[in-house]
Amino acid sequence: MQRYFETELLDVKNFELPKEIYKHAIVVMRAKVGDHFELVTADQKVHLMEVTAITKTAATAKEIEVFEQLTELPVETTIVCGLSKGDKAEFIVQKGTELGADHFVFFKGEYSVAKWDDKKQKKKLARLEKIALAAAEQSHRTTIPTVAYLSSLQELTLAADEKGLIAYEEAAKEGEKGALVTLLKEIKVAPKETKRPKLQAIFGPEGGLAFQEVTALEERGYIRAGLGPRIMRAETAPLYLLSSLSFALELR
């Protein structure tokens, strides 16, 4: 069933479909009166809606049922990636959203070839936000991931209640195997609270992270980690981590 997001709490008895939802549900998907779709509101509740009326320019729906659904990772995860060439940022956001990431932050690293000037930043972020929204709808998330940009890793901070991990290929080459396992165990045994534990994971661009970048991050509390014996592409490593989180925390 198609899912959409509404940023505000809605009038469930006579909900007028916003322009974008109308365009997709009525024009593209050809929904008819009596058809159902799901609508997620700002409180993360899912409303089962039924189309009640359609005109050439508008449509209305009413609520049939409301429920909560647990589709978010048990850990609030921020994926921080160095700028890479081509459409890799779009790929990371789309697939990362499907795998449960909550936030994406892109930065210009020492080895980044791609550059986002002020004008390009706005367009890129707007594009990535649309991709995150579509991926969240497709994967039946109850939240839409945020997307941000930093001009340097120096702007990155680690909250007091947040764990920080650096996916560093040199650590993988040296055979480091325990950091990610230890982190997953700590998250898994953490006392259950109203808020999910937080994790911030940093990945370099195609050329990786510079030694001085890693050192500066370690001084601020981040831990370097290897992600297995194979060296992955810039767009693959974040997905490996998210998959590992799901396996360790959701499937056992």
Kindly report, residue by residue over 150-185, the tens digit of the pLDDT.
988 989 989 988 999 999 988 888 888 889 999 888
* Domain of residue 59, CATH code: 2.40.240.20
27-38 pLDDT tens trace? 999 999 999 999
The residue among 44, 67, 90 that closes a domain is 67
Q: Are residues 57 and 153 in the same domain?
A: no
Owning domain of residue 201: 76-250
pLDDT tier at 108, thresholds 50, 70, 90: very high
Mean pLDDT for the stretch of residues 84-110:
96
Same domain, 156 and 218: yes
More confident residue, 75 or 186: 75
DSSP letter (8 states) at residue 28: I
Same domain, 137 and 245: yes
Task: Please give the Cα distance from 249 to 241 (Å, whole number).
Answer: 12
Residue 12 has pLDDT above 80, yes or no: no
Q: Is the pLDDT of residue 9 over 80?
A: no
Q: Each residue of 44-73: pLDDT tens digit?
A: 999 999 999 999 999 999 999 999 998 999
Q: What's the pLDDT at 126?
A: 95
DSSP readout, 112-123? ------HHHHHH
| Spatial distance between the Cα atoms of 71 and 10, rounded to a whole number of angstroms | 22
pLDDT, residue 222, reads: 95
Region 226-252 average pLDDT: 92
pLDDT of residue 195: 79
| Average pLDDT score over the chain | 91
Same domain, 38 and 80: no
Last residue of a domain, one of 20, 36, 67: 67
pLDDT tens digits for 112-158?
888 888 888 999 999 999 999 999 999 999 999 999 999 889 899 89
**How is 125-157 classified by DSSP, letter by letter?**
HHHHHHHHHHHHHHTT-SS--EEEEES-GGG--
In this structure, are 203 and 99 located in the same domain? yes
Per-residue pLDDT band for 207 (boundaries 50, 70, 90) equals: confident
Q: Are residues 62 and 103 in the same domain?
A: no
Residues 197 and 151 in one domain: yes
Question: How many domains in the chain?
Answer: 2
Indicate whether 213 and 90 sit together in one domain.
yes
- Cβ atoms of 246 and 99 within 8 Å: the answer is yes
CATH of the domain at 128: 3.40.1280.10
Last residue of a domain, one of 34, 67, 100: 67
What is residue 192's predicted lDDT score, i.e. its pLDDT? 63
> pLDDT category, 89, cuts 50, 70, 90?
very high
Do residue 157 and residue 238 come from a single domain?
yes
Q: Which residues pair with 150 in a beta bridge?
A: 107
pTM, entire model? 0.91
